Structure 1
Amino acid sequence: MFEIRKDASFSERNIPLGVLEVSYPENGFDRDALHSLIERELAALRDKYAGYDRKAVFGGNPYFRFFRKFKKTYPVMQQFETVMFKGRPFPEEDPVTAVPFLLELTTFVLSGTHDIDRIDGPLTIFTPDAKLPFDGMRGDSTHTYPNDICGRDDTGIIFSMIAGADNRTCVHPDSRHVFYPVFGTPDTASALIENALETLSGFVRTICPGAKTESAML
C-alpha cells in the first residue's frame, strides 16, 4: 500500500475511510465482462427500485444528510436518478473509472479515483477549518469546506469529499496504478465501508483478473 497518513484533525473524528489500491496490467481489461457486469447490476437495480421514491430511499441516507449540511445535493443520488430513470448511458468507456461509478450506484457509497503515479509524496487525510482553494478536475477553481474530508500530498490538495478531485492526480486514459477512496461520514458504520471495499475489489477482479489489489481501512 502506498503511504497514507491521518492528521489529528481527521483522526479525532473517527470517520471511516477505506482505500483500495489497484495496479492494472496494460491491455488486461475484459470489456465483455465489464459490460455484462454493468448490465447485470443495473437490471437488479431496476427491479429493486421499480417503485422508486426519492425521500424513502435517500431521506435517511447519511451522505445525503452530510452534503445537505454544506447546502449541496448528494451527487450519487443525482447519478443514480439520471442513469436509472432519465436515460443517461452508463459511462463504461474507461474501465478504471467505471467500477467506482458502479459501486456508487449499487451501494450509494461515495467513491473516487486518483492516479498514484501523479501523487507527490505521501497522502495525508485531514479536515480543514477553512475554505482552501485548489484546481478541480476540470481545471476550474474550487475549494474545500470547513469540516470537509480532504486529502493532500506534498504539492497540494488532491481531493475534497464535497468538491471532488483535483486536476493533477485525477485519472487519465493511461492511468493504471490508481487508488479508490471510499468515503464515510460521521454517521456511517465502518462495516458499510468495509463491505463497499470488498464489493469494489470484486468488480475489479471481474473486469481485470490480472489486477493487483490491496485495501485498507483508515
Structure 2
Amino acid sequence: MFEIIKDPNFAARGIPFGVAEVRFPARESWDEAAFRALAERELADCRTRFADYDRKAVFSENPYFRFFRKFKKTYPVMQQFESVLFKGRPFPEGNPAATLPFLAEICTQVLSGAHDIDCLDGPLTIFTPDSRLPFDGMRAESTHTYPNDVCGRDGSGIIFSMIAGADKRTCVHPDSRHIFYPVFGTPDTPPAPILSTLDRIVSYVQVLAPAAEIETALL
C-alpha cells in the first residue's frame, strides 16, 4: 500500500476511511466489454430493487446525505442515483477505470473517488481543515475545503475534499495505471458499508482487468 498518513485532527474523529490501491496492466488486456455488461446488470438490478423509489425513505437517514446537509450541500451521489436510474442519464462511457467508482456509488449510495497515484507528490495525508483552503477542482475551477470537512493532501497541495470533490492534478486520465479509490466515511458511518464498498470496487476491477494487482485497507 502506498503511504497514507492520518493527521491527528482527523484520527481523533474516528471516521472510517477505505482505500483500494490498484495497479492495472496495459489497457490492451482489459475486458472493457465485460465491464460494460457488468454495469448494465448492476444498474438493471438497482432499478428493480428501487422500483418504488422514495427519496425520503432511501436518503433521509443516509449518513452522507445528512453530512452534506450540514454544509448546505446536496449529496451528489443522490443526484447521480436519480439521474442514471430514473431520469434517463446514460452511464458514462470512456475510461472504465475512472467510471468504476461512479457505478459503485450508484449501487451502494456510499461516496468514493479515484486518483492517480503516480501524480501524487509524496504520501497522502488525510486531515480535517479548520478553515476554507483553496485548490483547483477536477474541472479546473477554483474551489475550497470546508471546516470539519474530510480532506486529503500531498506535498503539493489538496487533492480532495469530501464536500468539494477531487482536484485536477491527480484525477484519473486515460493513461493512468496506478490508481487509488478512496471510500469516504462520515462521523456516523460504521465500518461495514465502507468494507462492503471496497469489496464491490475490487470485484469490478477483477472483471475489468483480471490481472490487476489490488490491495485494500480500512484506516
* Structure 1 and Structure 2 fold alike (TM over 0.5): yes
For residues 87 and 163 of structure 1, what CA distance do their matches in structure 2 show?
A: 25
Structure 1 letter corresponding to 2:177: R
Q: Which residue of 2 aligns with 1:112?
A: 113
The equivalent residue for 2:70 is 69
Q: Deviations over 1:52-93 (max 9, x none)?
A: 111111011000000000000000000000001111110132
Q: Does 1:200 align with 2:190?
A: no
2:176 pairs with 1:163: no
Name 1:147's counterpart in structure 2.
148
Amino acid at match of 1:7: D
Question: What does residue 8 of structure 2 align with?
Answer: 8
Where has structure 1 moved over 2 Å in runs of 4 or more?
none
What's the secondary structure of 1:65's corresponding residue?
A: helix
Partner of 2:18: 18
- Whichever residue aligns with residue 7 of structure 2, its letter is D
TM-score by length of 1: 0.99
For structure 2, which runs of at least 5 residues remain unmatched after alignment? none
CA deviation digits over 1:26-75, x for unaligned, max 9? Answer: 12210111111011111111111111111111011000000000000000
> Between Structure 1 and Structure 2, how many residues are aligned?
218
Taking the aligned partners of 2:29 and 2:182, their CA distance within structure 1 comes to: 22
Identity of aligned residues (%): 67
Tell me the TM-score normalized by structure 2.
Answer: 0.98
Q: Is the 8 A contact 1:29 1:95 kept in 2?
A: no
Structure 1: which amino acid aligns with 2:58? V
Distance 1:34 1:95 in 2: 8
- The CA RMSD over aligned residues, in Å, is 0.7
